[in-house]
Amino acid sequence: MYNFHIPVMRRTVMTNEERDYLFDQGLALSSILERVCVELLGMMENIDDRVEISRSISKLESEGDDVFHAANDRLQLMELSNEDRVKIFSMLRHVEDIIDMVDELGKTIVRYNTRTVTNGFKAGVNSINGAVNKLVVLINAMREYKPEHKDQVTRAVNTFDAFKVDYEKMYDVLIYELFSNPHDIVDIIRCKAIYDAIRDIFSAFEASADDAYRYIVSKG
């Protein structure tokens, strides 16, 4: 459970120092997410090492927790409006949620004793990697945001909708194939669990993009 308390506010605008700190933490979380994704891609190439790689991902997830909680503690000390505080908290939380979900995907792969990487599985992970790269670009764009850049940032936000829509289409094809052709029941359970976990990750990316959109709308 998140330790989230809203104190009485006296100031409604972040100082430059506070703003730089919070974006630094957002980028730190994104950097951890990039490292998590590198491990996950490595698992696709070395599925026999899935247990060890999953443990490495979990260690990175723990680092992400530390960064998030430290940022949240600092956020509680900032004299901001409730609206700004919730907005910033949500942005940081959703990046951390993505890290958690990729960690859970790694654990799912181990939990179901996955020894074969299907084309659909690999395509989903490659799409996650693409979304991670776009998230880093988006956070940097938000950090340097000016009203005249609104259209550019909005297009970057919309990219995440495209990622989710594309995976939803892929998901429908994968699930249809899974239940339309003869497969071992264990393989069906295993594959569906993995495909569902990837789907959840793209929903989390969408939530993170929504946070970014609310941020730029508030900036005019």
Which of the two residues, 83 and 52, has the higher pLDDT score? 52
The set of residues, in sequence order, having a beta carbon less than 8 Å from that of 134 and lying 6+ positions away, is 156, 159, 160, 163
Which ranges in the chain belong to alpha helices (H)?
Answer: 16-45, 50-77, 82-111, 119-143, 150-180, 185-219
* Residue 12, pLDDT score: 58
| pLDDT on residue 9 | 45
Average model confidence (pLDDT) across the chain: 88
Question: In the predicted model, what is the mean pLDDT of residues 207-217?
Answer: 82
If one compares 194 and 210, the residue with the highest pLDDT of the two is: 194
**Can you give the pTM of this predicted structure?**
0.88
Taking the C-alpha atoms of residue 103 and residue 122, their distance in angstroms, rounded to an integer, is 16
Tokens matching residue 4: 């989230």
Distance, first Cα to last Cα, the chain: 33
Half-sphere exposure of 15 (CA within 13 A, CB side): 7
Number of Cβ atoms within 10 Å of the Cβ of 162 = 11
**How confident is the model at residue 145, as a pLDDT?**
76
Each residue's pLDDT tens digit, 129-162:
999 998 888 888 887 777 777 787 788 788 888 8
pLDDT in tens, 186-202: 999 999 999 999 999 99
User: Which pLDDT score is estimated for 127?
Assistant: 92
Q: Which domains does the chain have, with CATH numbers?
A: 16-219 (1.20.58.220)
What percentage of the chain exceeds 90 in pLDDT? 58
The burial class, CB within 10 Å (0-12 / 13-18 / 19+), for 182 is: exposed
> With 90 as the cut, is the pLDDT of residue 46 above it?
yes
- At residue 2, the pLDDT reads 52
* Mean pLDDT across 84-108: 92
Which tokens hold the place of 212?
């970014």
